[in-house]
Amino acid sequence: MENMILKHMDVVRGITISILEKTTEEAADITPKGFNNNIRWNLGHIAFIQEKLVFGLAGEPMQTPESYESFFGAGTKPADWTEAAPSLEEIANVLKDQAQRIKEFMPGQFDKQLITPFTNKAGINFTTVGETFLFSFYHEAMHVETIKKIGKSAAE
């Protein structure tokens, strides 16, 4: 079962990387009316939150660049950025590296208890690494759909 879940992560992350690779730097920074964030923010947010859900909450070192929390953490938005955000190439490298590290880390970790149980802002409670990892697929897919909506809105 673990192998099947890790293969599913590859599918989800592959979709994300495919969209990223079709996005230009200019298009990544458009925040259409009705949106708080742009494509670059959503891609960086996927990386930061998955790092937190898989590694941070398990008490493992987080390896996303330190600036990712201030750029892409929950509640942040491009309108508040005071310096240049990471390039799409950097974000792509972080996402690819992260997927590889997760594949190396997760086997045998699905039932590992989190340091502290975690409740997300939707009120969902998590107690194991496997629960937060599986939730990260939903989170990533939700942001991929937002990216598609931003792209469509920006093209209109």
Tokens describing residue 56: 């941070």
pLDDT of residue 91: 98
Q: State the CATH number of the domain containing residue 49.
A: 1.20.120.450
pLDDT at residue 112 above 90? yes
pLDDT of residue 43: 98
Q: Which of 98, 9, 93, 112 is nearest to 61 (CA)?
A: 98
If one counts the domains in the chain, the total is: 1
Phi/psi for 116 (5° steps) reads -135, 135
Mean of per-residue pLDDT scores for the chain: 95
pLDDT at residue 154 above 80? no
Reported confidence tier of residue 155, pLDDT bands at 50, 70, 90 = confident
Residue with more model confidence, 71 or 121: 71
Element (H or E) spanning 116, and its range?
strand 113-119
**Biggest CA pair distance of the chain:** 47
For residue 120, give its domain range: 1-154
